[in-house]
């Protein structure tokens, strides 16, 4: 079964050059135009040293090693997009979801069916807007997702700021997910590298309670239409529009842990989120009219 798409982000373009990346048993996710034989990662050997980290689960994951094409592509992209923070990443390990078992094969085929359906929705041979994206999750959440798929009990936690769904960050912005990754008892943090069907994305405002597309025109959400840092896949689409393909785990040096802690303190307010009009109304009880006039003017200018 061939995976067909029209446009891909940079990581996808690179990974499609690696013929061993997406095969699993008799089912492969290579491009339709690729006529080369594909050898399953589950069956082939790879060269290079591996960091000896215990496998997350007994079912469906294999560890990739240095020298494997997928391993090296993901590692290079991940570290290069962290910029100066890359030096603080240690013991990087990549495991691949082999989609083992009947249930995962069904989810894989479901993803492909929904991709084709999205292409038709976007105008026949249209662009389904399939991207690679990062998703932070705890070790327990990753295990539950690998074994059972996405569900209420294994759903990665988020701030809830952009509605009810899973928040992912573009493959070229891993820091957004890195700072949300929670270390386990051994100091290891986990990210899932997923293939995501976005279709037509709509802008989601902070404080949204949305849990599904606002209309049939849209399929997913973003925090910014021109340069998104968050993709929002609604709770109604978890096991049809997200395919977790790789698990990336790492340890962070004390310098990075301090930086991530500072980011959390700066970005996560403790007060409830309210709309700007409600905030202005509340402030008017305490601030003089001149100050309120300025605030209202700045708000109108911002809009």
Pick the residue with more confidence: 58 or 264? 58
Where is average pLDDT lowest: 105-119, 150-164, 168-182, 235-249?
A: 150-164
- Phi/psi class of residue 124: alpha, beta or left (left: φ > 0; alpha: ψ in -120 to 50)? left
Look at residue 166 and give its three-state secondary structure: strand
Question: How open is the CA angle 231-232-237, to the nearest 5 degrees?
Answer: 125
Residue 151 has phi, psi (to 5 degrees) of -160, 175
Identify whether 110 is part of a domain: yes
b/e map of 85-94 (b: 16 or more CB within 10 Å)?
beebbeebbb
- Cβ neighbors of 278 (< 8 A, separation 6 or more) are none
Task: Spell out the SS3 assignment of 67-91.
Answer: CEHHHHHHHHHHHHCCHHHHHHEEE
250: tokens are: 């790492």
CATH of the domain at 128: 3.90.228.10
* Residue 29 falls inside a structural domain: no
Domains identified in the chain, total number = 1
Residue-level pLDDT at 264: 47
Q: Cα–Cα distance between 114 and 103 in angstroms, integer?
A: 16
Residue 149 lies in a domain: yes
pTM above 0.75, yes or no: no
Q: Would you say residue 297 lies in a domain? A: no
62 — phi, psi (to 5°)? -125, 150
pLDDT tens for 281-291 read 888 888 888 88
In the chain, what is the straight-line distance between the N-terminal and C-terminal CA atoms, in Å? 48
Which domain range does residue 77 map to?
Answer: 56-260
252 found inside a domain: yes
pLDDT tens figures, 125-176: 678 999 999 999 999 999 889 888 887 655 677 767 888 889 999 999 998 8
Among residues 19, 11, 13, the alpha carbon closest in space to that of 74 is found at 11
The answer to whether position 188 is within a domain reads yes
Q: For residue 200, what are the contacts with CB-CB under 8 A and spacing of at least 6?
A: 122, 129, 217, 218, 219, 220
Q: Does residue 280 belong to any structural domain of this protein?
A: no
What is the C-alpha to C-alpha distance for residues 248 and 169, in angstroms, rounded to an integer?
Answer: 14
Would residue 234 count as lying in a domain?
Answer: yes
Alpha carbon of residue 163 to chain centroid: 16
């Amino acid at each position: 079964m061939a995976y067909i798409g029209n446009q891909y982000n940079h990581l996808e373009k690179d990974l499609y050059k690696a013929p061993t990346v997406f095969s699993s048993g008799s089912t492969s996710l290579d491009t339709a135009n690729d006529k080369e034989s594909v050898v399953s990662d589950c069956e082939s050997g790879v060269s290079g040293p591996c960091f000896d980290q215990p496998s997350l689960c007994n079912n469906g994951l294999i560890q990739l090693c240095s020298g494997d094409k997928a391993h090296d592509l993901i590692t290079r992209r991940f570290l290069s997009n962290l910029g100066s923070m890359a030096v603080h990443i240690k013991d990087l390990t990549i495991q691949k979801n082999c989609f083992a078992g009947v249930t995962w094969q069904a989810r894989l085929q479901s993803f492909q069916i929904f991709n084709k359906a999205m292409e038709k929705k976007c105008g026949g041979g249209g662009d389904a807007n399939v991207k690679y994206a990062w998703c932070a999750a705890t070790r327990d959440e990753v295990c539950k997702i690998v074994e059972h798929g996405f569900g209420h009990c294994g759903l990665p936690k988020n701030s809830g700021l952009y509605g009810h769904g899973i928040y992912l960050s573009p493959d070229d912005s891993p820091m957004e997910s890195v700072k949300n990754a929670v270390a386990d008892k051994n100091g290891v943090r986990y990210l899932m590298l997923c293939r995501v069907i976005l279709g037509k994305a709509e802008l989601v405002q902070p404080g949204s309670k949305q849990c599904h597309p606002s209309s049939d025109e849209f399929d997913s959400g973003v925090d910014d239409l021109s340069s998104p840092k968050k993709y929002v896949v609604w709770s109604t689409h978890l096991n049809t529009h997200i395919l977790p393909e790789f698990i990336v785990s790492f340890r962070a040096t004390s310098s990075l842990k301090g930086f991530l802690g500072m980011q959390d303190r700066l970005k996560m307010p403790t007060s409830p989120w309210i709309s700007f009009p409600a905030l202005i109304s509340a402030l008017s009880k305490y601030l003089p009219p001149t100050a309120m006039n300025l605030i209202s003017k700045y708000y109108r200018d911002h809009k």
